[in-house]
Amino acid sequence: MVARDPHRFVNELDDAAIARLIARLESRAKDLVFTKLFDKYAAHLSPHPSAQVLELGCGTGAMTRFLAHRDDFSGKAFGVDQSASFIDAARRFAETENIGERVDFRVGDAHSLDFPAETFDAVFAHTLISHVTDPTTVLREMVRVVRPGGIVAIFDGDYASMTYAFPDHEFGHRMDAALVTASFNNPRIMRDLPRLMPELGLTLQAAWGDAVSEIGTASYFRSFVETYAPYIVKAGLFSAEAVGLWLTAQRQSMEDGTFFASCNYYTYLACRT
């Protein structure tokens, strides 16, 4: 068996697995650990009141919906995802939140967008680039559909830095690596973007990093591990018994206040030249 990033191959998952991913995406979107990271760059996505903004790999549309709710955004937000199930969920959530007229969710491939060139004032990818088949092709599409002078924003994790504490450090290190391998197609892509952007016609305007850490208790990392640890077994990287033992230890540490997990995340804001 080989590792298959569940988001990259979402259209091959069964209904139960898709439901778990939808729950994870919505849970993550409500977690203050995570939402504050979007807030740090969201204001840059609306250069003028009638801005047209596109999110690639929008999932359940959580970030697109957050943008539509912001007081400083009065334009229209579009979201594209390859999963029809995710898009159906995004539309339902938007209607429930009474923003259906301010958002437009569509099924589509980030590698080949069904939009004319220079359509949007800003395009962003929020934890997408680590999952896609070909990051360079996706970046080219982002550049193609944004107007000259428009903003391209990319937020994602450097997942090679992700770690969960475990008393046996060597075993814990191997489990960290297995979790990352099973969950992300491009775990180190954020290290490559400063080199790739100028080659694709992008000028980096600002960039910063955030260490997302939970110590003692867990919410963000609890949801992550509960959702993605089973894919370690599916990939044949560890036995179900070994993963179960590790998961039990993580859950126990969450209960007794000794939990530790951390990962570095990065935000890049670029301008199309």
Query: Does residue 104 sit within a domain?
Result: yes
What CATH number did the domain enclosing 43 receive?
Answer: 3.40.50.150
Residue 47 has pLDDT above 90, yes or no: no
pLDDT in tens, 235-264: 999 999 999 999 999 999 999 999 999 999
Query: Does residue 188 sit within a domain?
Result: yes
Query: Does residue 255 sit within a domain?
Result: no
Residue 160 has pLDDT above 80, yes or no: yes
Q: Based on C-alpha coordinates, what's the Rg of the chain? A: 18
pTM: 0.95
Return the sign of the alpha-carbon dihedral for residues 127, 184, 160, 191: negative
Instruction: List phi, psi (to 5°) of 218.
Output: -145, 140
Q: Which domain holds residue 54?
A: 10-158+184-212+264-272
Query: Does residue 234 sit within a domain?
Result: no
Query: Does residue 172 sit within a domain?
Result: no
Query: Does residue 252 sit within a domain?
Result: no
Return the sign of the alpha-carbon dihedral for residues 13, 14, 20, 21: positive
Query: Does residue 167 sit within a domain?
Result: no
Query: Does residue 235 sit within a domain?
Result: no
pLDDT in tens, 14-44: 999 999 999 999 999 988 888 899 999 998 9
Over residues 219-231, the mean pLDDT reads 95
Instruction: Give pLDDT, residue 1.
Output: 60
Number of domains comprising the chain: 1
58/81 Cα distance (integer angstroms): 5
